[in-house]
């Protein structure tokens, strides 16, 4: 329904729930209102968590952080993966990793420079955060390829941004996926910026979604701030991949309300007016409008939702800040399963403060 | 004369040369409108126009490969790789292509390309923003690798690099981008490529460092002075081609050598320096050569970074060991 | 029960040493006599063994630390005691559930949701220079004090020089580009400078064309002597003249003074008298106190009198010398001769004791033999060999009397000294020995 009916090469883009909160019933996916409400509550927590990260960073309690403010609906896509699927994130995926099941405290830990944050709960199928832009879609292709070869029913979801789409490795990833027909869903969160460079600078193509055809599979461009479109497109792509019909590309149009990272000054390349123009597209705003129209939301409700979100996030912050410091030996102990002698000597040296000098 | 930091000094060099050389181009991610994430190219797009200071798509291999072509076509491209962690994406274009082009074309193409890269650790950054992979570049024939240690050196070395007419990787130690200010002349001046400088003279031991480590080496030397030992401090400046002669001469005088670098110990440049000194001054050595380096592990994230990076204390310990031997 | 190991006197009157390196660290298990650390003493780098088996609980001082004899330098104990040690490694992780600290308030982020201050870079924190930072351009280099000129030598040879107690920078190098070689070092340590464990005679039994043989490596003192002897003979023109001295009167003086000397702790023999006689003769026949500088083509007349005495030790011949023998009394010389002999046998001679000699006396008479052809202690000009003291019937004043007689053999370098000089020298020595009053009058 969605891929077939919305060809980016024809300028068609999928939107089910618009900024006005009105749903196109003919395009509605099987997403119950109860689930929408529940998701809205989770996305509220996501936003509070994201803003809290910024506050913590300003206070020196967190290191550099890449916010997902404004991209919550697109991040919610990770909630639609099956447990056996694999999530392959970039670095602007804090919301997605959290909704997939990685504790917020772990993610805060990671952004504070504590590598233990990448120790995920057992059985949680997600690869660690990838900093090198565009490096990870290839990994997703390999993972899904393995699942296919083993006969497992899993799909790998590769997350990357509009900037990443210019990297050669992303081209190679999609090309491989097409050739080997791997069960891979490529999710391009197009938030319009790669630090300061606008999306128009990344490619002269009209859309990123249309590139899929050059690799031999279909793509779709959706309104990434529309939770229904996210759900619908994801389900369709995941099912198709799971059925063995090969990879899909979903370009989720969204907007980066926040800075590139907490150390970025966006006023260097965009004005506050530019940002405010996109304010009405806020994914949470339209969900509120929709739920209100369904009698499932009110101002009083909102206060409660926010209060609960605050409490949940604060508990995670406490947990994160209560962690004991990582031992110096951690620098060494993950390099190899067993440390060779020269590395054991270096570890001794490091643990002695580097002053005994081996 | 103004006292400026390294970012400003580099900006001065770029501005000066852009004004002098109409064929010079600056390209990279966020270098134009934003002026570079560290502001090194600040104001240059406004001054010289979008056709000379260009924001590129996010593609390091593309940036360097296109620069190679631009140089072959007679321009002087100055591409930026945003952080050293991302230089690996461009390695084929740098090592297999740029480094080899003169050889491959039998001297027809001397490619003047200056790749600028923020380098090294110490800023509490996420993964891949704190490494020092200079060994791979120095190991690649055909490349010139340069790294300044203070603002004055930075402007002079960058101007020399821009005028060299050969592929240069210019490693900018980000830890000291803003950490120190020195008097940097407004006028045109250069600092020679291929020549190390002796910052401090001394007879008791030689300390060799480059980039952000020079500051630590000098601090260690000060402490040694207070303890009655005169350390000779050498800033290598150019990593390839390396001026090992200056180091050897110094070791002939002092008999003791400490080398400090952020990069991991195995096959870090300290190994090459030690080998050359052993070849040419073995009979002058009074003690084993000491290397103070990062560990042979992945560079840790912010929380454990200080346990990885060498500092003046570790240099001092190595110096004490070499003096006691 | 933990054992406190005190730095022992390694013999030779040691009072302190400098730690070169520890061979174990805290927590290591050691066996009895296993090497614990290396210590540098006056002359050598010595390994100090563990006094007992056990676990190292503590050690004192890193490389370069000076340790005194009697000072506790290590503690060795049982495994249980090791485990009971407080861990000095990085602090143990905090307990799993710390008491929940009061929640730190989190201030809301500024609105609008952008950066309010000028920020640089997109990651991390850059150090900012303080406003009034003095320029980091290097200050004018401090005037470097003139470095002591140093020789070039391979590291292994420097190690050898250190072991032998030789100041390598004082050695003239004969290797490529003036490098000091192992040979140079061994020579400078003089013939017979002792080394550790140099003379384990590991014979290898075998046979040659004619029968069973045993092969022993030519090493250490033996090797040095072999080298020195051939050197000496190769470079000089050695001639020996022989004569006898009537030392009967001297003998009686010596007998008379023996007891008194012993009270002062001096063992008086004829040798110190010989030294005095020789010194006198050297002053009167200065050609015997010279050295031929072939490089410069000069005969160097020495105005100091350092008399070497050949000492037979278990390792071979060692020749320490008495410095400025002309300025010392016979008793002083006697005392010094005793000390030098003792030090030679104990291998505790200082390098200086073996250098700087101008003339040598070799007294083989105690073993036996009358006359000989001693080889010069190159680069000296002569050597006096002293044979066995005998009671001989001597004719004089028309009668035959039994007189104590000392056979003397003087080898001289004919390049520097002619027969006439040599004989004059020997005559002078004999005259003074035969008529000791002359020594008294000459003082």
Task: Check A264 against C122: CB less than 8 A apart.
Answer: yes
Structure tokens given for A313: 């996030």
Does the active-site annotation cover C414?
A: yes
What is the structure's pLDDT at C110? Answer: 64
C103 chain-A contacts, CB cut-off 8 A? 314, 317-318
- Residue C171 — φ and ψ, nearest 5°? -95, 140
B174 chain-C contacts, CB cut-off 8 A? 121, 126
Q: Which of A64, A163, A164 lies nearest to residue B125, judging by beta carbons?
A: A64
| Residue position matching structure tokens 């009405």 | A280
Task: Check A331 against B128: CB less than 8 A apart.
Answer: no
For C395, other C-beta atoms within 10 Å of its C-beta total 9
Residue C288, domain member (yes or no): yes
Q: Answer whether residue B136 shows pLDDT above 90.
A: yes
Radius of gyration of chain A (CA): 21
The C-alpha atoms of residue A77 and residue A100 are separated, in whole angstroms, by 9
What is the structure's pLDDT at C294? Answer: 86
Residue C202, domain member (yes or no): no
Per-window interface: A 335-354 vs C, CB < 8 A = 351
Which H/E stretch holds residue B324?
helix B312-324
What is the structure's pLDDT at C145? Answer: 54
Q: For C188-217, give one letter per residue: b (16+ CB within 10 A) or e.
A: bbbbbbbbeeebeeeeeeeeeeeeeeeeee
Contacts of C213 (CB under 8 A, 6+ apart): C205, C206, C207
For A227-272, the pLDDT digits (tens) are 999 999 999 999 999 999 999 999 999 999 999 999 898 999 999 9
Q: Which of A56, A266, A324 lies nearest to residue C93, judging by beta carbons?
A: A324
Residue C113, domain member (yes or no): no
CATH number of the domain where residue C59 is located: 2.40.50.100
The arithmetic mean of pLDDT across residues A206-221, rounded, is 98
**Of B124, B129, B229, B261, which one is the catalytic site residue?**
B129
Task: Check B178 against C145: CB less than 8 A apart.
Answer: no
Q: Answer whether residue C192 shows pLDDT above 50.
A: no
Domain check: are C35 and C171 in the same one? no
User: Which of B56, B59, B220, B314 to probe by mutation at the A interface, max A CB count within 10 Å?
Assistant: B59
Question: Structural domain tally of chain C?
Answer: 3
Q: C64 to chain A, minimum CA–CA distance in Å?
A: 13
Task: Check A55 against C89: CB less than 8 A apart.
Answer: no
CA B160 to chain centre: 13
The C-alpha atoms of residue A331 and residue A350 are separated, in whole angstroms, by 9
| Residue C153 touches chain B, beta carbons under 8 Å | yes
Q: Answer whether residue C234 shows pLDDT above 70.
A: yes
Task: Check C114 against A267: CB less than 8 A apart.
Answer: yes
CA C349 to chain centre: 6
Contacts of C211 (CB under 8 A, 6+ apart): none
For A38-59, the pLDDT digits (tens) are 999 999 999 999 999 999 998 9
Q: Which of C121, C129, C154 lies nearest to residue B5, judging by beta carbons?
A: C129
Task: Check C90 against A327: CB less than 8 A apart.
Answer: yes
Q: Answer whether residue C435 shows pLDDT above 50.
A: yes
Per-window interface: A 158-197 vs C, CB < 8 A = 195
**Of A260, A286, A288, A347, which one is the catalytic site residue?**
A260
Domain check: are C373 and C430 in the same one? yes
Residue spans of the domains in chain B: they are 3-183, 197-324
B325 chain-C contacts, CB cut-off 8 A? 63
Q: Answer whether residue C190 shows pLDDT above 80.
A: no
The arithmetic mean of pLDDT across residues A127-144, rounded, is 96
Structure tokens given for C211: 């029968």
Domain check: are C293 and C331 in the same one? yes
B7 chain-C contacts, CB cut-off 8 A? 120
Q: Would you say C383 and C238 are in contact if contact means Cβ atoms under 8 Å apart?
A: no
- Check whether the bond before C379 is cis (ω within 30° of 0): yes
Triad C146, C147, C149: Cα angle to 5°: 120
For C367-377, the pLDDT digits (tens) are 889 999 999 99
Q: Would you say C340 and C354 are in contact if contact means Cβ atoms under 8 Å apart?
A: no
The C-alpha atoms of residue C278 and residue C433 are separated, in whole angstroms, by 10
The arithmetic mean of pLDDT across residues B283-297, rounded, is 96
For B197-255, the pLDDT digits (tens) are 999 999 999 999 999 999 999 999 999 999 999 999 999 999 999 999 999 999 999 99
Range of the domain at C179: 155-191
Domain check: are C425 and C328 in the same one? yes
Does the active-site annotation cover A260?
A: yes
Chains that touch B (3 or more CB pairs under 8 A): A, C
For C380-414, the pLDDT digits (tens) are 999 999 999 999 999 988 999 999 999 999 999 99
The full set of domains in chain A, from first to last, is: 2-323 (3.40.50.970), 327-358 (no CATH)
Q: Would you say B244 and B204 are in contact if contact means Cβ atoms under 8 Å apart?
A: no
Domain check: are C226 and C180 in the same one? no
For C88-124, the pLDDT digits (tens) are 444 445 445 555 556 678 877 666 555 545 567 788 8
Q: What is the DSSP letter of B77?
A: E
For C159, other C-beta atoms within 10 Å of its C-beta total 12
**C-alpha closest to that of B118 among B76, B96, B148:** B148
Residue C386, domain member (yes or no): yes
Which H/E stretch holds residue B118?
strand B113-119
Domain boundary among C145, C175, C191: C191
Per-window interface: C 95-124 vs B, CB < 8 A = 120-124
Task: Provide long-range contacts, Cβ within 8 A and 24+ apart, for A55-61.
Answer: A55/C106, A55/C107, A55/C108, A55/C109, A56/A108, A56/A317, A56/C106, A57/A262, A58/A262, A58/C107, A58/C109, A58/C110, A59/C106, A59/C107, A61/A112, A61/A321, A61/C104
User: Which of C59, C115, C116, C126 to probe by mutation at the A interface, max A CB count within 10 Å?
Assistant: C115
For B83-128, the pLDDT digits (tens) are 999 999 999 999 999 999 999 999 999 999 999 999 999 999 999 9
Q: B133 to chain C, minimum CA–CA distance in Å?
A: 19
Residue C101, domain member (yes or no): no
| Residue position matching structure tokens 């003082």 | C443
The arithmetic mean of pLDDT across residues C239-260, rounded, is 92
Structure tokens given for A141: 């292709």
For B59-89, the pLDDT digits (tens) are 999 999 999 999 999 999 999 999 999 999 9
- Check whether the bond before C112 is cis (ω within 30° of 0): yes
Q: Which CATH class is domain B3-183?
A: alpha beta
For A79-112, the pLDDT digits (tens) are 999 999 999 999 999 999 999 999 999 999 999 9
C115 chain-A contacts, CB cut-off 8 A? 259, 262, 264-267
Residue C102, domain member (yes or no): no
First-to-final CA distance of chain C: 67
Relative to beta strand B231-235, strand B197-200 is: antiparallel
Which H/E stretch holds residue A87?
strand A86-88
C112 chain-A contacts, CB cut-off 8 A? 272, 275-276
Residue C119, domain member (yes or no): no
Side-chain-side CA neighbours of C405 within 13 Å: the count stands at: 15
Q: For C288-308, give one letter per residue: b (16+ CB within 10 A) or e.
A: bbbbbeeeeeeeeebeebbbb
Residue C112, domain member (yes or no): no
| Residue C208 touches chain A, beta carbons under 8 Å | no
Domain check: are C291 and C401 in the same one? yes
The C-alpha atoms of residue C63 and residue B290 are separated, in whole angstroms, by 15
Domain boundary among C43, C61, C84: C84
Task: Look over chain C and give the mean of its residue pLDDT values, rounded to a whole number.
Answer: 82
Domain boundary among C31, C61, C84: C84
Kindly report the length of chain C: 443
Task: Check C126 against B178: CB less than 8 A apart.
Answer: yes
C19 chain-A contacts, CB cut-off 8 A? none
**Architecture of the CATH domain B197-324:** 3-Layer(aba) Sandwich (3.40)
Domain check: are C329 and C279 in the same one? yes
What is the structure's pLDDT at C12? Answer: 53
């Amino acid at each position: 329904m969605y891929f077939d009916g919305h060809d980016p090469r024809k300028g068609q883009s999928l939107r089910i729930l618009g900024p006005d909160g009105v749903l196109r019933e003919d395009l509605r996916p099987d997403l119950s209102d109860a689930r929408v409400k529940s998701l809205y509550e989770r996305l509220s927590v996501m936003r509070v968590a994201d803003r809290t990260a910024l506050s913590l960073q300003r206070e020196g309690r967190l290191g550099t952080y890449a916010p997902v403010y404004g991209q919550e609906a697109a991040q919610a896509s990770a909630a639609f993966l099956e447990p056996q699927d694999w999530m392959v994130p970039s670095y602007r995926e804090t919301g997605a990793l959290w909704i997939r099941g990685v504790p917020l405290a772990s993610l805060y830990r990671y952004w504070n420079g504590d590598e233990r944050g990448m120790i995920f709960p057992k059985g949680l199928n997600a690869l660690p955060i990838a900093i090198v832009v565009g490096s990870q879609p290839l990994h997703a292709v390999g993972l899904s390829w393995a699942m296919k070869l083993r006969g497992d029913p899993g799909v790998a979801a590769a997350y990357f941004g509009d900037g990443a789409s210019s990297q050669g490795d992303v081209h190679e990833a999609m090309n491989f996926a097409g050739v080997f027909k791997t069960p891979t869903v490529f999710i391009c969160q197009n938030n319009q910026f790669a630090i300061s460079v606008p999306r128009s600078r990344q490619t002269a193509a009209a859309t990123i979604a249309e590139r899929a055809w050059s690799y031999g599979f279909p793509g779709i461009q959706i309104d990434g701030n529309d939770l229904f479109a996210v759900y619908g497109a994801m389900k369709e792509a995941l099912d198709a991949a799971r059925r063995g019909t090969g990879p899909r590309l979903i370009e989720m149009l969204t907007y980066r309300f926040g800075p590139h990272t907490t150390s970025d000054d966006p006023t260097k390349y965009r004005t506050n007016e530019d940002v405010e123009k996109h304010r009405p597209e806020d994914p949470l705003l339209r969900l509120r409008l929709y739920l209100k129209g369904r009698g499932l939301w009110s101002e009083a409700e909102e206060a409660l939702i926010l209060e609960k979100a605050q409490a949940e996030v604060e508990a995670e912050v406490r947990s994160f800040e209560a962690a004991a410091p990582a031992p110096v030996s951690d620098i060494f102990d993950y390099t190899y399963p067993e440390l060779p002698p020269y590395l054991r000597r270096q570890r001794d040296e490091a643990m002695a403060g580097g002053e005994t000098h081996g | 004369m103004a006292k400026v930091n390294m970012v400003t000094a580099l900006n001065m060099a770029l501005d000066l040369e852009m004004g002098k050389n109409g064929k010079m181009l600056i390209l990279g991610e966020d270098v134009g409108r934003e002026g570079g994430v560290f502001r090194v190219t600040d104001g240059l797009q406004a001054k010289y126009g979008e056709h000379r200071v260009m924001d590129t798509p996010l593609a390091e291999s593309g940036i360097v490969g296109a620069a190679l072509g631009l140089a072959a076509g007679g321009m002087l491209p100055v591409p930026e790789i945003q952080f050293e962690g991302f230089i690996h994406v461009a390695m084929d274009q740098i090592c297999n292509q740029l480094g080899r082009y003169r050889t491959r074309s039998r001297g027809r193409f001397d490619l003047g390309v200056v790749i600028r890269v923020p380098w090294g650790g110490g800023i509490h950054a996420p993964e891949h923003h704190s490494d020092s992979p200079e060994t791979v570049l120095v190991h690649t024939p055909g490349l010139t690798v340069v790294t300044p240690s203070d603002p004055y050196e930075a402007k002079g070395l960058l101007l020399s690099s821009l005028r060299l007419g050969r592929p240069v990787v210019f490693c900018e130690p980000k830890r000291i981008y803003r950490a120190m200010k020195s008097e940097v002349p407004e006028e045109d001046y250069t600092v020679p490529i291929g020549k190390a400088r002796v910052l401090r003279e001394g007879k008791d031991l030689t300390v060799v460092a480059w980039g952000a480590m020079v500051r630590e080496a000098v601090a260690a030397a000060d402490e040694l002075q207070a303890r009655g030992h005169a350390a000779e401090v050498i800033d290598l400046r150019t990593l390839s081609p390396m001026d090992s002669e200056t180091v050897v001469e110094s070791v002939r005088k002092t008999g003791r050598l400490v080398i400090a670098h952020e990069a991991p110990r195995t096959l870090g440049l300290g190994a090459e320096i030690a080998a050359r000194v052993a070849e040419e001054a073995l009979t002058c050595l009074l003690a084993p050569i000491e290397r103070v380096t990062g560990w042979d592990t992945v560079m840790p994230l912010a929380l454990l970074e200080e346990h990885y990076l060498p500092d003046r204390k570790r240099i001092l310990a190595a110096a004490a060991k070499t003096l006691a031997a | 029960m933990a054992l406190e190991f005190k730095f022992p006197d390694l013999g030779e009157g040691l009072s302190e040493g400098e730690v070169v390196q520890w061979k174990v660290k805290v927590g290591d298990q050691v066996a009895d006599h296993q090497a614990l650390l290396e210590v540098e003493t006056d002359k050598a780098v010595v390994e100090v063994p563990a006094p007992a088996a056990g676990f190292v609980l503590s050690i004192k001082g890193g490389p370069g630390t000076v340790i005194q004899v009697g000072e506790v330098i290590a503690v060795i104990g049982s495994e249980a005691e090791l485990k009971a040690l407080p861990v000095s490694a990085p602090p143990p992780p905090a307990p799993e559930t710390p008491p929940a600290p009061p929640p730190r308030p989190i201030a809301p982020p500024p609105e609008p949701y952008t950066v309010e201050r000028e920020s640089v870079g997109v990651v991390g924190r850059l150090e900012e220079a303080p406003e009034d930072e003095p320029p980091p351009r290097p200050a004018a280099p401090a005037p470097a004090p003139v470095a002591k000129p140093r020789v070039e030598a391979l590291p292994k040879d420097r190690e050898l020089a250190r072991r032998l107690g030789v100041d390598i920078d004082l050695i003239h190098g004969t290797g490529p580009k003036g490098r000091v070689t192992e040979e140079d070092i061994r020579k400078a340590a003089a013939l017979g400078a002792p080394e550790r464990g140099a003379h384990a005679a590991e014979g290898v039994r075998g046979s040659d064309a004619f029968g069973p043989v045993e092969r022993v490596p030519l090493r250490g003192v033996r090797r040095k002597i072999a080298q020195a002897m051939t050197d000496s003979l190769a470079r000089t023109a050695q001639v020996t003249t022989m004569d006898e001295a009537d030392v009967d009167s001297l003998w009686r003086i010596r007998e008379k003074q023996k007891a008194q000397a012993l009270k002062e702790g001096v063992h008086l023999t004829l040798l110190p008298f010989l030294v005095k006689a020789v010194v006198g003769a050297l002053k009167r026949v200065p050609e015997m106190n010279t050295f031929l500088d072939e490089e410069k083509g000069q005969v160097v007349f020495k105005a100091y009198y350092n008399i070497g005495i050949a000492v037979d030790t278990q390792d071979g011949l060692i020749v320490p010398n008495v410095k400025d023998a002309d300025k010392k009394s016979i008793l002083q010389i006697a005392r010094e001769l005793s000390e030098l002999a003792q030090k030679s046998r104990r291998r505790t001679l200082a390098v200086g004791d073996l250098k700087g000699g101008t003339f040598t006396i070799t007294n083989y008479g105690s073993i036996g033999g009358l006359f000989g052809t001693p080889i010069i202690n190159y680069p000296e000009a002569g050597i006096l060999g002293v044979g066995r003291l005998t009671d001989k019937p001597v004719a004089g004043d028309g009668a035959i009397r039994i007189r104590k007689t000392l056979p003397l053999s003087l080898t001289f370098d004919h390049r520097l000294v002619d027969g006439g000089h040599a004989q004059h020298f020997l005559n002078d020595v004999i005259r003074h020995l035969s008529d000791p009053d002359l020594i008294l009058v000459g003082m």
